[in-house]
Amino acid sequence: MLNSPAWQELIRHRVAHLIVERIIVEYLEHAGENNGRLIVTYDDFVDDCGVGRRHIPEGIDIAVALGFLIVHRGRKSKKDRRHPNRYGLTFYPIHEEFETNDWNRIKSRGEAQAIVERVRAEANRRKIASPSIAPKMDEEQD
């Protein structure tokens, strides 16, 4: 796995790499149990990895797209009703089944780079200007 094109691309993206490593630590803290149900909060990523909150979603998306993570998304919360994301590492058995090794489907460095570019393009599409800002109108139009 560490020689795979997917891993080589993952380590080029600091936040995604740190996210995977932090989830590995969580897995080990659970003695290799509960893969697929591991809870790591954004605060954990910020405190333990030193990454900014706004970079975390893209890092998670890159790690998922490269096949190292699965994510069961939590719901948005209000006050104390939190529903966190639950993570699984594809290179360890998930729910006492076999590992999926999704990262192994990527066969070349170029393919891994293209996957990351698609993830980044999608993230940029989500950052569209606020619809409450009215576009500038040409003075010639009535």
Residue 132 lies in a domain: no
Task: Answer for the pair 93, 99: CB distance below 8 angstroms, yes or no.
Answer: yes
Q: pTM higher than 0.95, yes or no?
A: no
CATH number at residue 48: 1.10.10
Residue 128 domain flag: no
44-86 pLDDT, tens per residue? 999 999 999 999 999 999 999 999 999 998 876 666 666 788 9
Cβ(138)–Cβ(37) below 8 Å: no
Dihedral sign for Cα 101, 21, 23, 63, please: negative
Q: Please check whether residue 105 lies inside any domain of the structure.
A: yes
Per the domain annotation, does 130 fall within a domain? no
Range of the domain at 41: 5-119
Alpha-carbon distance of 61 to 66, in angstroms, equals 9
134 in a domain, yes or no?
Answer: no
Report d(CA 44, CA 73) in Å as an integer: 16
Within a domain: residue 71?
A: yes
At residue 89, the 3 state secondary structure works out as strand
What's the number of domains the chain is made of?
1
Please, which residues have CB within 8 angstroms of residue 136's CB and are 6 or more apart in sequence?
A: none
Say if 52 falls within a structural domain. Answer: yes
pLDDT of residue 4: 94
Going by C-alpha positions, the residue among 33, 36, 45, 18 that lies closest to residue 90 is: 36
Whole-number CA gyration radius for the chain: 18
**Distance of alpha carbon 129 from alpha carbon 131, whole angstroms:** 6
Q: What is the pLDDT of residues 16-40, one digit of tens each?
A: 999 999 999 999 999 888 899 999 9
Residue 27 belongs to some domain of the structure: yes
Q: What's the whole-number mean pLDDT along residues 93-103?
A: 83
* pLDDT score of 18: 96
